[in-house]
Amino acid sequence: MSFSTLPGIGMGTFRLKGNTAREAVKSALSLGYRHIDTAQMYDNEAEVGDGITSSGIPRREIFITTKIWYDQLHASDLINSLHGSLDRLKTDHVDLALIHWPSPGDEVPMEEYLGALRDAQREGLTDHIGISNFNCAQMDKAVEILGDAPLLTNQVEVHPFLANKKVVQHAQSLGITVTGYMPLAVGKVMEDETLLHIAQDRNVSPAQVAIAWVASRGVVPIPSSTRPAHLKANLDALNIELTDDEIRAIDALDRGERIANPGFAPDWD
């Protein structure tokens, strides 16, 4: 089975380590997740691979995303690093390989690392290619460089306190699906009065409301959790259909609160 699009929700593994990562991935797959998101920088690809192989779910039914760190963007480094990722993940290919961040200060030209990423795709190391943390101008440049090699996604931070509207709309106008990381704003959604109110009315959790809102925008959420009950609740959130009034109320929470903002980040839109 080859995936032509991203599954509607994924399990994020940022900050999950060791046996916790193994068990969480295995648990997520047993609950029905089919998209697992990791990265070289998370230092957990081996454990994620263990969780996948021990799940008993056939590899062809699982969509695996990994991301190439910015110190591996030179062409020869990129391909080698992806081979390393495949070894750790115990698979002969990933479904999606992303550039984790644009090269800080354009130290490595985008033509070089996107060309290498396309080469990796041609070599069968990854089915799809994409980007992460790219702003609007960088997306335009990437599309220009790659031509007819489609970028499946731009993975960016999206939650009720950072709607990231400009980037989301621009990506979607280019035919690029947006994957939204940190959809729960590292737990901050659990304390917001608007989300609590909507959640109480519907007898669901604020986390589920936040995920439903992200999904309502055509964005693929990749929440992270280690507890089976939370993993299942996050999955079930895709079945929640928010009203226009509820969506407007959540839209109003946008305050540009960016959580992932390292010194090497691009100039955000």
- Report the binding-site residues: 100
DSSP line for 113-148: HHHHHHHHHHTTSEEEEEEES--HHHHHHHHHHHTT
36 vs 173: CA distance, rounded Å: 26
The residue whose two tokens read 């399990």 is 11
Kindly provide the b/e burial profile for residues 24-38, where b requires at least 16 CB atoms within 10 angstroms of the residue's own CB.
bbbbbbebebbbbbb
At residue 109, the 3 state secondary structure works out as coil
Catalytic residue among 33, 42, 70, 113: 42
What tokens does 92 get?
């002969």
State the Cα angle at 232 between 226 and 238, rounded to 5°: 125
Annotation: binding site for substrate: 100
List of residues 6+ apart from 22 with CB closer than 8 A: 47, 48, 50, 51, 54
48 near 25, Cβ under 8 Å?
A: yes
Q: Which residue has the tokens 């109480």?
A: 200
Report the first-to-last Cα separation within the chain, whole angstroms. 37
Active site residue 33: no
For the chain, count helices (H), then strands (E): 10, 8
Q: What is the CA angle 135-139-143, rounded to 5?
A: 175
Residues 150 and 162: their CA atoms lie apart, in Å, by 26
- Which are the catalytic amino acids? 42
